[in-house]
Chain A
Amino acid sequence: MGRCTAGRHGQGARGALTVRSVIAGALLVLSPAAVACGYCVEDKIAGVYDHAVVERALGAGHSIAFFHIDGTIVPGEGTRRLLETLANTAAGVDKGSARVSIESQAVSVAYDPRRAPFGSVHRALEKKFGVKNLRLMPLKVMEQPAELTAVRKY
């Protein structure tokens, strides 16, 4: 799967999410910025990949989800901290696991899929980020070491 084919990672997501993902994905692909270095799926993931968080989460049988943040973000460390706080306080998210990159417009969180499936974590994050007029587009999920997989149906 290509670097800039972000829309495809949402395949299989249900109902409104699928529509939203396709629209967001299309916007991402069609945007002039989408073809530049640093705007592709793996690059966005790289911007919020924290190996310590990944190891801790996978060691506990948890997963890590990576999202593109869609919307206008005011650049700055204050914004990054605010968004990280929002993500860390979303239901189902492992506290302290959220990582936000303003440059990459991406966020990652760890969660326990047995207690909170991906869909509920996504909805909880959308609710938090919606306050700032931001939407989240799922990119990939890591459930095992060294394996980034497309988001499955939920």
Chain B
Amino acid sequence: MTTTASFARFFTWTALVLLLGACNPGTPDRYDISKMDLKPIPAKVSAERHKGAFAEGGSLSMGAELKPLDPSPVKTVRLDTTHKIIEIAPGVKFSAWTFGDTVPGPTVRARVGDRIKFSMTNRSDEPVPGVRITAAPMMHSMDFHAAMVSPQDKYRSIAPGQTIEFEFTLNYPGIFMYHCGTPMILEHIASGMYGAVIVEPRNGYPTKADREYVVIQSEFYAKPDPGKQKVDGAPLYVLDTDRLKDSRPTHTVFNGVHNGMVTNPLPAKTGERVRLHVLNVGPSKTSSFHVVGTIFDRVWFEGNPDNQFRGMQTVLLGSSNSATVEFLIPEDGSYIMVDHHFANASQGAIGLISTAAKPPAKDLEHHNIPATRTPTDPEAIAGKQGFESKCLACHSIGEGKKLGPDLAGVTKHRTKEWLTRWLKEPEKMLLTDEHAKAMLKEYNNIPMPNQSLTDAEIRQYLKYFEWVDAQPAGTAKAHGAH
């Protein structure tokens, strides 16, 4: 056989295989545009105001834990807009704008082919019981990234008291953002108007997870109200539009609250497969989402299993990007979710998945949980946040020794000058100060690291410690779960 004949035979077989592959009727295109529902009904705007609950629908989940998929092919979803005060960090009561009266808004869970029948009343003009300092009523709108519809029809802004209704079919699987699209959009998102729609593939996911959670990363840009208004004795915080325009957030958080899932870790057991649906809503920062102590067995970028990566350490998410990540819990412990841009993590984008955590109490939503005892002085609040971001791994307050001492009562047995110097230059004091040397010995020669705190930060820490020590014994506590 000649070489030419061999090549001819090879190309003939190759062409045949490719042709058969292209014509294979057994692998239908899941993204066949001709089979998608792209003929939605026009939206309807009316002056009929919803009353009662601000969020309704069997497909809605509040908080991190996801409810099982509602099998109904038609999902009725109501998310009304409200203005309310939320606590984004201890003592930081922020004037927010919401969908469904929560930040983030409730998560919608559905699957490809489902029909979403959506309605929303702009209830930003309804007074909040006991509070008269929410932002002025204004126009709002809803933009579902999961929908394929005319924005001019479905996403139009409505005035306070108006209701908009529209419907659409879910054509693609994924984790999709929803948000208010009324100008200035940046201000509406930064004030809390966002949430997630999780759309499962038509035939479900290719793996079986033991735990499923949703984690939404976002930024807040808060400043004390220039009018010095207070909520329950604490200063009211409002949107800092200068910081917003410069992309300089004051808080970067998971699920709407600073260190929220450190205080209340997500439960999982050793050997379990955990599936996290992660959405970064921004509005202006990226997220390098990472879980300390494990490797992502699977990453489905944008939440679509067709966009799969294996064995990843971190997934990079721009604003409104998402990913579903799955990993195993290899042994007992607390696995730390962080934005590996650690400047963001230090602003509160931290959470834990812990084998020691208890299941969350049903129907508890963070804004409805009574506030823990917190200081009201802004400097002490900043000190508490700094302490909880940087120190909880080694110290507690009122919960006993860890790698370092329990700091309850520290201002009573150390002077302010000593503490200031200790926080400023611990390495020098370990060489010269007898108390520091004794402490090093007591704590297994693990030295206090220099945290490079500024003078202002040290002052804030001391204000916080002083506040702690002024509380009735045992009432002010701080502890990490790991």
Q: Which residues on A are within 8 Å of B, measured CB to CB?
A: 2-5, 37-38, 40-43, 45-47, 49-52, 54, 103-104, 142, 144-148
Query: A146 contacts B157, CB within 8 Å?
Result: no
Q: Kindly identify which residue among B125, B141, B157 contacts A51, using a CB–CB cutoff of 8 Å.
A: B125
User: What are 18 residue pairs bridging A and B, where the CB atoms are less than 8 Å apart in the complex?
Assistant: A2-B152, A3-B155, A3-B157, A5-B152, A37-B183, A40-B152, A42-B139, A42-B156, A42-B158, A42-B182, A43-B183, A45-B159, A46-B138, A46-B182, A46-B183, A47-B183, A49-B139, A146-B162
Measured between alpha carbons, how far is A40 from B143 in the docked complex, in Å? 14
Q: Chain B contacts of A148 at CB under 8 A?
A: 159, 162
Of A38, A42, A144, the most chain B CB neighbours within 10 A belong to A42
With A37-B185, A38-B183 known as contacts, the answer to whether A51 contacts B152 (CB < 8 A) is no
A38 to B155, CA, bound (A): 11
B157 pairs with A46, CB closer than 8 A:
yes
Chain B residues, Cβ within 8 Å of A147: 47, 162
Return the chain B residue nearest A5 by Cβ: B152
A147 vs B163: C-alpha distance in the bound complex, in angstroms?
10
B73 / chain A contacts, CB cutoff of 8 Å: none
The reply on B151 being an interface residue by CB < 8 A is: yes
- B residues near A52, Cβ cutoff 8 Å: 136
B181 on interface, CB distance cutoff 8 Å:
yes
Q: Are B185 and A42 in contact (CB under 8 A)?
A: no
- Which of A5, A37, A42, A51 is the one whose CB lies under 8 Å from B138? A51
The interface on chain B, measured as residues whose beta carbon lies within 8 A of the other chain's beta carbons, has a size of 25
Which among A3, A50, A145 has the greatest number of chain B C-beta atoms within 10 A?
A3
B435 contacts which chain A residues (CB < 8 A)?
none
Instruction: Chain A residues near B181: list those with CB within 8 A.
Output: 37
> How far is B47's CA from A46's CA once the two chains are assembled, in angstroms?
17
Query: Within 8 Å of chain A (Cβ to Cβ): is B137?
Result: yes
Q: Is B150 in contact with chain A by the CB < 8 A criterion? A: yes
11 new A-B contacts, CB < 8 A, other than A3-B156, A41-B156, A104-B183, are A2-B150, A3-B155, A42-B139, A42-B141, A42-B156, A42-B157, A51-B137, A52-B136, A145-B47, A146-B161, A148-B159
Given the known A-B contacts A103-B184, A142-B159, are A3 and B139 also in contact in the complex, defined by CB atoms under 8 Å? no
B70 at the interface (CB under 8 A from A): no
Chain B contact residues, CB within 8 Å of chain A: 47, 49, 125, 136-139, 141, 150-153, 155-162, 181-185
Q: Give the chain B neighbours of A43 by CB distance below 8 A.
A: 156-157, 182-183
Contacts of B159 in A (CB 8 A): 45, 49, 54, 142, 146, 148
Q: How far is the CA of A104 from the CA of B157 in the complex (A)?
A: 14
Q: Which residue of A lies closest to B158 (CB)?
A: A42
Closest chain A residue to B48, Cβ basis: A146
Given contacts A42-B139, A42-B158, A145-B161, contact A2 B153 (CB under 8 A): yes
Least CB separation from B163: chain A residue: A146
Residue among B125, B162, B182 having the largest count of chain A Cβ atoms under 10 Å: B182
- Complex Cα distance, B158 from A46, in Å, reads 8
Residue of A nearest to B185 (CB): A37
* Chain A residue at minimum C-beta to C-beta distance from B183: A38
When distances are taken between beta carbons in the complex, the residues of chain B under 8 Å from A50 are: 136
Nearest opposing residue in chain B for A39, CB measure = B183
CA distance A4 to B155 in the complex (A): 11
Q: How far is the CA of A51 from the CA of B139 in the complex (A)?
A: 9
Q: For the complex, what is the distance from the CA of A38 to the CA of B188, rounded to whole Å?
A: 13
Could you tell me if B183 and A49 are in contact, using CB atoms closer than 8 angstroms?
Answer: no
Q: Are A46 and B139 in contact (CB under 8 A)?
A: yes
Known: A37-B183, A45-B139. A146 touches B153 (CB 8 A): no
Q: Which of B136, B152, B162 contacts A3 (CB 8 A)?
A: B152
Closest chain B residue to A49 by CB distance? B139
Central interface residue in B156, B181, B182, B184, by most chain A CB within 10 Å? B156
Chain A's nearest CB lies how many Å from the CB of B162? 5
- Nearest chain A residue, comparing its CB with the CB of B157: A42
B158 near A51: Cβ-Cβ < 8 Å: no
Question: Given the complex, which residues of A lie within 8 Å of B151, measured CB to CB?
Answer: 3, 37
Smallest Cβ distance from A145 to chain B, in angstroms? 5
Residues of chain B with a CB closer than 8 A to A4's CB: 152
Q: Are B156 and A40 in contact (CB under 8 A)?
A: yes
A146 to chain B: closest residue by CB: B161
For B150, what are the chain A residues with a Cβ–Cβ distance below 8 Å? Answer: 2
A141 CB to closest chain B CB (Å) equals 12
Contact partners of B182 in chain A: CB under 8 A: 42-43, 46
Closest 7 CB pairs of A and B: A146-B161, A2-B152, A46-B139, A3-B152, A42-B157, A51-B137, A38-B183
